[in-house]
């Protein structure tokens, strides 16, 4: 990964343009659901896909990725026309899409680099990300701005990079992959997506009258008494690979009755504790982990196939920093397992009711860690006609209104060909050194706190 960090290349961009639907689309006002328009989702989420050149002898001109994607996008927007609109906010902070057909922002670019130049470690943090997904001035607002920004960058080798930025209130990872899959089908010649998009956001609206029937500590109003929100500056981004060896090492730290837990639960317990140790909060302070839980399987009646709105909950596990850091990892794991079980259909109704009653608050962010597992979202299967991506998924960790708070679990194959999960972590520099020490200690099957040792070789974790 050292090679990747030193990679520098030039990207030449054309002027951003707006791509509008290929045919006239309905001009209507479509309300978001009460799950979509909460404060914690009012931000842009970046995704990046790397594709190798196509090896068959098709007319190369036909296979210009920029031309293919530009045309496919216009056709796909006929079906997904709300993406071509603009968000507005009405009474009670209720958001809706004004389906104006103004279009999504599109950038054509070329980079003097090959896919091979990125080396073995095609994983966040990506070099020159701000050049591969250009933040067009005045384009990133929540309201009255494009809901999607897409940059297609041709590479010297004939491959290309597809980078996208989405207004998160419109869709979650599953909804975004559904849109990207439709774009891929149309790019490959289909006349319509195999799964027609379904709006029906009212299915996740609050009840009338609202009644909060479950406990939702994730929306507590937590005062930041000790100024423990991580500072914006001096943040270090690094990725950590968890393959079979690392997950096995984690399982060895557990008592026998917990060893059958899911990799997500084991990994989350270890990351939460290690990150908390690295940040050195006061032992009596409350710390939290929010686990993104996909609520689709929990809803009865189920949501229609093709629904592309946000359908997850943020249930929270909480304890004191002292209890978390001093107990074996099984302690955190039990808290996380219980928290995930809380999410039911009733829980989702209760969340929607609470959000409306409380004015759509942000989830509690003080001393909070948020984990989102996108290993099954399907980014790695999106095919625009060049096969599956060499990397597909979130462009970086730590995204969202509060820097450094969120981590993704991304499916990844390392240079040895091992399948596993790559986790981008974003921490202040000193805390990152301590986190790396925790990682090294775990891999060496030593669960004692190694926090004291900060003079360590950072390279070892990468």
Catalytic residues: 168, 383
CA distance 191 to 280: 56
Q: What would the two tokens of residue 344 be?
A: 């039911």
Place of tokens 């030039």: 10
Dihedral angle of Cα 106, 153, 180, 77, to the nearest 10 degrees = 20
Contact 392, 379 (CB under 8 A): yes
358 in the Ramachandran plot: left (φ > 0), alpha (ψ -120 to 50) or beta? alpha
Q: What would the two tokens of residue 171 be?
A: 């869709």
Nearest to 245 by CA among 442, 98, 385, 43: 442
**Could you please report the per-residue DSSP string of 131-198?**
HHS---TT---SSSS-SEEEEEEEETTS-EEEEEEEETTT--HHHHHHHHHHHHHHHTT-SS-SS--B
Close Cβ partners of 237 (under 8 Å, ≥ 6 residues apart): 124, 125, 396, 397, 398, 424, 425, 426
Q: What would the two tokens of residue 434 be?
A: 């301590």
CA distance 138 to 169: 18
**Sign for the pseudo-dihedral over CA of 396, 385, 373, 260:** negative
- Count other Cβ atoms within 10 Å, centred on residue 446: 12
**Could you please report the per-residue DSSP string of 101-138?**
---EEEEEEEES--TGGG-S---SSPTTHHHHS---TT
Polymer length in residues for the chain: 462
Nearest to 375 by CA among 262, 299, 460: 262
- The backbone torsions φ and ψ at residue 437, rounded to the nearest 5 degrees and listed phi first, read -60, -40
- Count other Cβ atoms within 10 Å, centred on residue 461: 20
CA distance 81 to 75: 10
Q: What is the largest CA-CA distance in the chain?
A: 66
- Count other Cβ atoms within 10 Å, centred on residue 247: 16
């Amino acid at each position: 990964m050292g090679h990747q960090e030193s990679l520098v290349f030039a990207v030449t961009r054309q002027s951003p343009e707006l791509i509008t639907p290929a045919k006239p689309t309905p001009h209507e006002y479509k309300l978001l659901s009460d799950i979509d328009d909460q404060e914690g989702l009012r931000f842009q989420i970046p995704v990046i896909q790397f594709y190798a050149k196509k090896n068959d002898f098709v007319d190369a001109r036909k296979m210009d990725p920029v031309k293919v994607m530009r045309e496919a996008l216009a056709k796909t927007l006929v079906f997904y026309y709300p993406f071509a609109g603009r968000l507005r906010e009405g009474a009670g902070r209720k958001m809706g899409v004004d389906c104006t057909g103004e279009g999504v922002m599109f950038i054509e670019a070329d980079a003097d680099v090959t896919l091979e130049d990125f080396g073995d470690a095609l994983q966040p943090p990506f070099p020159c990300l701000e050049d591969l997904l250009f933040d067009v001035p005045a384009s990133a607002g929540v309201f009255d701005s494009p809901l999607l920004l897409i940059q297609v960058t041709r590479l010297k080798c004939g491959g290309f990079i597809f980078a996208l930025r989405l207004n998160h209130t419109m869709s979650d990872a599953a909804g975004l992959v559904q849109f990207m899959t439709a774009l891929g089908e149309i790019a490959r010649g289909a006349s319509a997506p195999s799964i027609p998009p379904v709006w029906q956001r009212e299915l996740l609206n609050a009840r009338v009258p609202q009644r909060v029937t479950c406990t939702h500590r994730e929306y507590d109003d937590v005062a930041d008494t000790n100024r423990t929100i991580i500072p914006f500056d001096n943040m270090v981004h690094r990725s950590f690979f968890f393959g079979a060896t690392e997950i096995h090492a984690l399982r060895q730290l557990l008592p026998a009755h917990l060893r059958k837990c899911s990799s997500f639960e084991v990994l989350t317990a270890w990351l939460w504790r290690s990150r908390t140790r690295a940040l050195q909060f006061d032992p009596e302070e409350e710390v939290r982990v929010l686990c993104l839980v996909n609520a689709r399987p929990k809803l009865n009646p189920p949501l229609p196939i093709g629904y592309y709105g946000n359908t997850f909950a943020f249930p929270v596990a909480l304890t004191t920093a002292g209890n978390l850091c001093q107990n074996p990892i099984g302690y955190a794991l039990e808290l996380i397992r219980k928290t995930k079980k809380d999410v039911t259909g009733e829980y989702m109704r209760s969340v929607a009711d609470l959000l409306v009653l409380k004015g759509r608050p942000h989830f509690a962010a003080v001393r909070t860690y948020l984990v989102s597992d996108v290993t099954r979202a399907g980014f790695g299967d999106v095919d625009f006609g060049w096969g599956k991506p060499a990397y597909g998924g979130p462009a970086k960790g730590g995204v969202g209104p509060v820097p450094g708070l969120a981590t993704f679990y991304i499916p990844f194959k390392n240079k040895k060909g091992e399948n596993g999960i790559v986790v981008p972590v974003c921490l202040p520099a000193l805390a990152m050194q301590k986190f790396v020490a925790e990682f090294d200690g775990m891999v060496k099957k030593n669960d004692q706190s190694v926090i004291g040792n900060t003079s360590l070789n950072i390279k070892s974790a990468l």
